[in-house]
Chain A
Amino acid sequence: MTVWTANEDQLALFDTIADEYIAEHPEVKSITFDPLPFEDYTTTLTTQIAGGKAPDLAWILENAAPDFVSSGALADIEETLEGTEGYEFDDLNDAATALWVKDDKLIAYPFSTSPFVVFANDDLLAEAGLPSSAEIKASGWDWEAVAEAGATVNAKTGKAGFVIRDFDYTTWDNLASVWMGWGAKPWSEDGATCEFDSTEMADAFEFLHTAAFEQKSMPGPGTTADFFAGEAAFTVTQISRASLLAEGGYTWNLLPLPEGPEGEYSMVGQAGIGVMKQGKNAEVAAQFLAFFSNPENSERLAQWFPPARDSQLNSDTLAAANPVLSAEQIEDVVVPGIATGVTRPSHTDSAEIGQTVRAALDAIWTADADIPAVLADVCTAIDPLLEK
């Protein structure tokens, strides 16, 4: 099975679960987990498949989900999961499984449903003479407040205000965690029409552009700042990044995504596990997946990978699994984030569309950019790809 984590603790737990399965099924000789680098994960996986070395099971990133789901690369697992004693198939959350369904059949298991949240560095806010993040939230938690506080932090300390983690002016789909607050979408629900040129999207990019070039509340292009190294006051990222918080480093807080002009919203990042049809042991792989994702193992894995089971989406399960987070943080931020979160935009031919948008959007990241014109150019560039 290919995975993108190289975390030793996570791999150790995978191995433990695999060993337990082998003990019950002596006909299975071995189960190995092959970590692939996250940045090139999908490319490496497809290259393996092209070379005739398809894994039996594979983690799949949400942006690649439409390609894997629609192409027929994945085997139908619904029958195997439903037919496994004690699996409790109906416990799987509808919102979490939506991305992984084809012809009303589940063809990949939503292994991790991780909400996007805001981490705040209260020490840095105090250094800039600002109230704590909890106090800022109490007086109105919206993007304007974040940008304002971020600008003050940058002016007073030289550190960054807010950072959209992993965006780096290239991975533009991470900006969905911002533009959703403006009610913007990159394309229509059916994926056929570009909506980058909408007023909502222009307003969202206007906000980001002002933050980067005028307010200086967000690091500009070509400048990096790592929140977890204490270089920024706020960061927007997935809850699973909590593992990067250094013990005794600084006082931090966890908050939901700020409100946008459209009000409250939440977003989740997802990973699925699919059984590759081109793998050599598809049937056995589906049976192992049923064991790997059963209620007991799902609960064990919840310390890193928020589960897709309704019965486990509660503060008791998640608090037991996440000692770094308080019960209050889990109740207020994590649970509602998973329950109501929308996945990032995805589309078939995601790599080509992603690259085309990236190239066209580069023009927006200059001080004197004509934002509506650039967004119109983005649509011109991707329209032929959306129509495919």
Chain B
Amino acid sequence: MQSGRASALPDGTPKRRRLTLQQRDAVTGYLFIAPQVLGILAFVIVPLALVVYFSFHEWNVLAGTFTFVGAENFERFLTDKNIAPVMQSTAVFSISLVIANITLALLLAVLLNRTMRGVTFFRTLFFSPVVVSLVAWTIVWGFLFQDNGGINGMLQVIGIEGPNWLREGPTAMASVVIVQVFKNVGLNMVLFLAALQGVPQELQEAARVDGANPRTVFRYITIPMISPTILLTFIITIVGSLQVFAQIAVLTQGGPGISTTVLIYYLFQQAFLFGQFGYGSVLSLVLFIIVLILTIVQWQLRKKWVFYEN
């Protein structure tokens, strides 16, 4: 004879086990985060695993062969004579872009964070490139930068012989940076504007009562108060700068020589133009590691300079 709790209803059907309140809360929570987790799994984790897998293989797309080559692609990375100039171009491009973008965005935000006639027009003007088609924007700038284009035409009016912007190494890189800065500066400007409008007026007034001049107020009150936004813009601008591809493809195709060939464009060339997917995978892993390190470094450094009110 069995003993214990009855686990069936009087008519013999088994009793359904009910979830506790805590378990139901947990299920609800998992359901809420499921779309995000599935998204990260499908579009981050799985592709990353595939890239690692591909990096140990050579894939001849046309012949339909997929051969294990061990660390051959990694060895090639270490001996590739183009890597040093490509990394140098990437560093020059990213550093120039980040400094120019953040500085200009903050300057514009400060200038437009006041009540005066026409301020809305200028905010819209500087933000509008963000929503313009990237390729269309780049093509128009390409025409402006031509040797006989609009920019040299304007320089000629004031008696200056302009350079052949896209055909000379230093000016070609500068051109790509300029195009990208004007394209995206509006986004950071809006973020800074929002941050500036969140700075408590009473703090600034208190500082002025204590005799602080506008520069001191900006340095010791405004900058610390908007430092979380500065951190955010730094992270997204640095990561974004390492992903700039279309502008280079349209304006310079990595030239003259390989002076504007940054890592992501070099990766594209190797994988998709030359059909060397294995080596392209290695380059994309390198790019991933660079972005990861830069983000971790910034995240750690925030403890030193980012001010949180709480």
Chain A residues proximal to chain B, CB less than 8 Å: 43, 46-47, 49-50, 67-68, 71-73, 169-170, 220-224, 277-278, 349, 351-352, 355, 358-360, 362-363, 365
- Residues on B with beta carbons closer than 8 Å to the beta carbon of A71: 60, 62-63
With the chains together, A19 CA to B170 CA distance in Å?
56
In contact, B167 and A43 (Cβ under 8 angstroms): no
In contact, B64 and A223 (Cβ under 8 angstroms): no
In contact, B146 and A222 (Cβ under 8 angstroms): yes
Min C-beta distance of B7 to chain A, whole Å = 51
In contact, B257 and A43 (Cβ under 8 angstroms): no
In contact, B272 and A47 (Cβ under 8 angstroms): yes
B277 at the interface (CB under 8 A from A): yes
In the complex, which of the residues A169, A362, A365 has the most CB atoms of chain B within 10 Å of its own CB atom?
A: A362
- Residues on A with beta carbons closer than 8 Å to the beta carbon of B273: 43, 351-352, 355
The answer to whether residues A221 and B61 also contact, given A355-B273, A359-B257, A362-B257 and a CB cut-off of 8 A, is no
Interface secondary structure of A, over-half rule: helix
Min C-beta distance of B273 to chain A, whole Å = 5
The answer to whether residues A49 and B61 also contact, given A223-B146, A223-B147, A358-B255 and a CB cut-off of 8 A, is yes
**Across the two chains, which residue of chain A brings its CB closest to B64?**
A278
The answer to whether residues A222 and B59 also contact, given A351-B274, A352-B274 and a CB cut-off of 8 A, is no
With the chains together, A68 CA to B62 CA distance in Å?
7
In contact, B164 and A349 (Cβ under 8 angstroms): no
Interchain Cβ contacts under 8 Å between A and B, 19 examples: A43-B273, A46-B62, A47-B272, A71-B63, A72-B62, A73-B62, A222-B149, A222-B164, A222-B166, A222-B167, A223-B146, A224-B146, A349-B274, A352-B273, A355-B254, A355-B269, A355-B273, A359-B258, A365-B256
- Residues on A with beta carbons closer than 8 Å to the beta carbon of B166: 222
The answer to whether residues A170 and B253 also contact, given A223-B148, A359-B258 and a CB cut-off of 8 A, is yes
The answer to whether residues A46 and B61 also contact, given A222-B164, A222-B167 and a CB cut-off of 8 A, is yes
Size of interface on B: residues with Cβ below 8 Å to A: 27
In contact, B63 and A72 (Cβ under 8 angstroms): yes
B260-283 near A? 1/0 per residue, CB < 8 Å:
000000000100111101000000
- Residues on B with beta carbons closer than 8 Å to the beta carbon of A73: 62-64
In contact, A221 and B275 (Cβ under 8 angstroms): no
Considering the complex, which residues of chain B in the window 19-75 have a beta carbon less than 8 Å from any beta carbon of chain A?
59-64
The answer to whether residues A43 and B147 also contact, given A50-B61, A73-B64 and a CB cut-off of 8 A, is no
**Across the two chains, which residue of chain A brings its CB closest to B255?**
A362
- Cβ-Cβ contact count across A and B, 8 Å cutoff: 72
Considering the complex, which residues of chain B in the window 157-199 have a beta carbon less than 8 Å from any beta carbon of chain A?
164-167
With the chains together, A311 CA to B275 CA distance in Å?
39
The answer to whether residues A221 and B164 also contact, given A170-B255, A355-B273, A359-B254 and a CB cut-off of 8 A, is yes
Min C-beta distance of A159 to chain B, whole Å = 12
Min C-beta distance of B43 to chain A, whole Å = 16
With the chains together, A28 CA to B217 CA distance in Å?
77
In contact, A222 and B61 (Cβ under 8 angstroms): no
- Residues on A with beta carbons closer than 8 Å to the beta carbon of B272: 43, 46-47
- Residues on B with beta carbons closer than 8 Å to the beta carbon of A362: 167, 255-257
In contact, A359 and B255 (Cβ under 8 angstroms): yes
With the chains together, A46 CA to B62 CA distance in Å?
7
- Residues on A with beta carbons closer than 8 Å to the beta carbon of B61: 46, 49-50
Min C-beta distance of A359 to chain B, whole Å = 5
- Residues on B with beta carbons closer than 8 Å to the beta carbon of A47: 272
- Residues on B with beta carbons closer than 8 Å to the beta carbon of A359: 254-258
In contact, A220 and B255 (Cβ under 8 angstroms): no
- Cβ-defined partner of B167 (8 Å) among A67, A278, A365: A365
- Residues on A with beta carbons closer than 8 Å to the beta carbon of B62: 46, 49, 67-68, 71-73
**Across the two chains, which residue of chain A brings its CB closest to B270?**
A352
- Residues on A with beta carbons closer than 8 Å to the beta carbon of B253: 170, 358
Give 12 new A-B contacts, CB below 8 A, not counting A49-B61, A72-B63, A222-B166: A73-B64, A220-B147, A220-B164, A222-B145, A223-B147, A349-B274, A359-B254, A359-B255, A362-B255, A362-B256, A362-B257, A363-B256
With the chains together, A43 CA to B148 CA distance in Å?
31
**Across the two chains, which residue of chain B brings its CB closest to A352?**
B274
- Residues on B with beta carbons closer than 8 Å to the beta carbon of A351: 273-275
In the complex, which of the residues B145, B164, B275 has the most CB atoms of chain A within 10 Å of its own CB atom?
A: B275
